[in-house]
Structure 1
Amino acid sequence: MADVEAIITFLESKDGGRSRNVFNGYRPNHLIKDDYLTTGVHHYYDMEEVVLGKSVYGTITFISPEAYPHCLWVGKIINIQEGSRIVGYAEITKIFNDLLIKEIVED
């Protein structure tokens, strides 16, 4: 089951992104915390291929979320990376995995 839903945006190659479009099942790294990269599997709604430079809705299923609990909130933007290179961004719109929800304390 997916951990989050997000608006996923891929950079064009001229902006440092990939040189080829991405497909359902793409498994990039995600900078889930400032000091923690993890892999996640992407599934895009109503499409198999995402054109670079475009934004799409989809889900991300992370590996071993128990290693980085309580680190996400709706509206958080995380880097999508291939190694150290940023190839896109994901803005969290829904969190399905309660373990990942960070409680925001307001004063």
Structure 2
Amino acid sequence: MADPQTFKLSRPELQADIYYLTEQEGGRKTPVASGYRGQFYYNGKDFDAMQQFVDKAWCHLGDTVQVLLQTASPEFHTGQLYVGKEFEIREGSKTVGKGTITKILRPDFNYWEPKSFLEKLSPGIKPYDGADMQGYCIDFDHYLSETELFSDIDFEETGDKQCMLLVKCKLVKRDIQPRLIADTVIESWKKKLATSNQLYKVDLQVKSDIHSDKLLLDKFTLTFASWHTIYLTGQIIVTQ
């Protein structure tokens, strides 16, 4: 275990205040040390996030501590968080701490939604249409197909400026690991599909295979906005 007196995060992404429950409140039995890695729980999902305590090495139960957080999977927090966002620290299904985000240190973690994106967009930037939209669809089809994970890639132009294009994919095989699917789509979006300015956020939903202990994909959604002199909004949706 890291020395709580000297523990430092390499790339802190969030600042927060966390209250650690007493044993009588259903919390832990022992104090918490800087370097602790309880489950970072919000929006109904558990994530990993290591904690560095600010100006102290230990937090006694029943006290509130200011912490820096560094997530293990930052791509899953992109576009999801804001100052005042509440979360829990859990051990298994047990809540041991309750926190509130006080500062976003990694800019791409800042919450966004298509409506607010459009409201902030320069009036001179127009939406993709016609040949530009067709070209973008060709790019989606090419880069998603070359991963060899997806088939039946379909496109739907919705006419809704908040979600102009739906890119719907089916898995080639049902037992592909959900995390591989998510990582592949995110990498394709960031490195090959997004233009010079882009936003995205993801939602990964999984289910248990009744015939094994494996988790299978239920649905993965990457919501995006990309713009330069023209803009595009939409979603990449992957299902079985």
In the alignment, which residue of structure 1 is the partner of 2:34?
24
| CA drift at 1:33 | 2.4
Structure 2 gaps, min length 5: 1-10, 120-240
* Segments of 4+ moved more than 2 angstroms: none
CA distance in 2, matches of 1:37, 1:99: 20
The 5-angstrom pairing of residues 42-53 of structure 1 reads 42-53=51-62
CA distance in 1, matches of 2:41, 2:96: 12
Higher mean displacement: 64-73 or 9-18? 64-73
> Aligned to 2:66, what secondary structure does the other structure show?
strand
RMSD across aligned positions (CA): 1.5
Q: When you count helix as a share of all residues, which structure comes out higher?
A: 2
- Select the structure of larger CA radius of gyration: 2
In the alignment, which residue of structure 2 is the partner of 1:75?
84
TM-score (norm 2): 0.42
TM-score (norm 1): 0.91
Letter in 2 for 1:48: A
| CA drift at 1:67 | 2.4
Whether contact under 8 Å (2:42, 2:86) holds in the other structure is: no
- CA gap of 1:68–1:46, structure 2 versus 1, over 3 A, is closer
> Aligned to 1:31, what secondary structure does the other structure show?
strand
In the alignment, which residue of structure 1 is the partner of 2:71?
62
| CA drift at 1:89 | 1.2
Q: When you count strand as a share of all residues, which structure comes out higher?
A: 1
Percent identity between the two aligned chains: 30
CA distance in 2, matches of 1:92, 1:56: 12
> Aligned to 2:83, what secondary structure does the other structure show?
coil
CA distance in 2, matches of 1:4, 1:68: 11
